[in-house]
Each structure stands twice: as C-alpha cells, then as structure tokens.
Amino acid sequence: MTLGLNLGLNQSIYLKQGLRCPVCGVVDSHAPGCLMKMRDDLNLQRRQIGCPKCKGGSVDVNTEDFFECGNCHTQFCRSGFADSPEPERVLLVDNRSGEYFPVLVLVTKGKGKIRIDMQIASIQKRIDAIVKSKSRPRSKN
C-alpha cells in the first residue's frame, strides 16, 4: 500500500474588468452614501403605472399627494375627494409591485411636480457637477 502526496503551486494571471463609478470611484459597486447608488435606488422605487387617460405617460405621486401623469398631468385621487359632481372612476395598476388603486379622476390638472422625479433630478444635478469637476480637458496633440 502506498500513499502519495502531490503538492502543486498554480499561479495564473487574470484580468478583471469592471466599470468604475464616476462619483465614488468604486469598481462594480458603489461606496455607502454614493449619489449614483441613491439615484439608482430611487429609480427602483418608481412606480410603473400607465396613465389610463393618455395611455402614454407614467403615473406617480405628486407633491400634493395625488397620483399624477407625468405626460398629460391628469390627477387621480384615492380618497372620496373629488372636484366634480360625478367624477370618473378608473383603476391604476402598478406593474412593478402588482398593486392596484381604485381612483377618481380629478378635473384639475397637476403642476408636474412629481416627488420622486424631483428627487432624482436634484441628485442628478449633483452627480453632473461632480463628474464635470473631475473631468480634465484633453490636450490636443
């Protein structure tokens, strides 16, 4: 009976490629508190509700706590509040979460101030300023 022991040392070189975040500088991820991660997380929180009125817009909550279409600015209300004697009733369906909301269509148009869009735009401005400050002008050769 024989017992053999084979020890080998294997060295290999590999190249790992990844995208570096232009804000925090981390490769393939983000540092805690990174603005790009904050923006990406907000995009994931957006609702995926199609507008039943214009069929082309995306509906989310505005600053007045009504649902509002970003395209046609039609507002929708979940409570019994209505700004007309016989409001139209529709169903909003969030395709991301599977939730549905029976709502009343309001006559008054919204102002286009959708909360999550405003937050994303604010963060995007800060990202753009950081990226611009980090970019160097290229020399002409």
Q: What is the pLDDT of residues 27-39, one digit of tens each?
A: 888 899 999 999 9
- In a domain? residue 107: yes
Total of domains in the chain:
1
Run of H or E including 127:
helix 115-134
CB atoms within 10 A of CB 59: 29
Please determine, for residue 109, whether its predicted confidence score (pLDDT) is greater than 90.
yes
Cβ neighbours of residue 16 closer than 8 Å, sequence gap 6 or more: none
Domain carrying residue 88: 35-132
Q: Report yes or no on 17 lying in a domain.
A: no
> Is a pLDDT exceeding 90 seen at residue 129?
yes
The mean pLDDT of the chain is 86
47 within domain boundaries: yes
Residue 4 lies in a domain: no
Query: What residue type is 6 in one-letter code?
Result: N
Q: Is residue 91 included in any domain, yes or no?
A: yes
**pTM score:** 0.71
- Confirm whether 140 is domain-assigned: no
Q: Which of 12, 29, 33 is nearest to 21 (CA)?
A: 29
Does any domain span residue 139? Answer: no
Give burial (CB, 10 Å; 0-12/13-18/19+) of 132. Answer: exposed
Mean pLDDT of 41-45: 91
- Percent residues over pLDDT 70 in the chain: 87
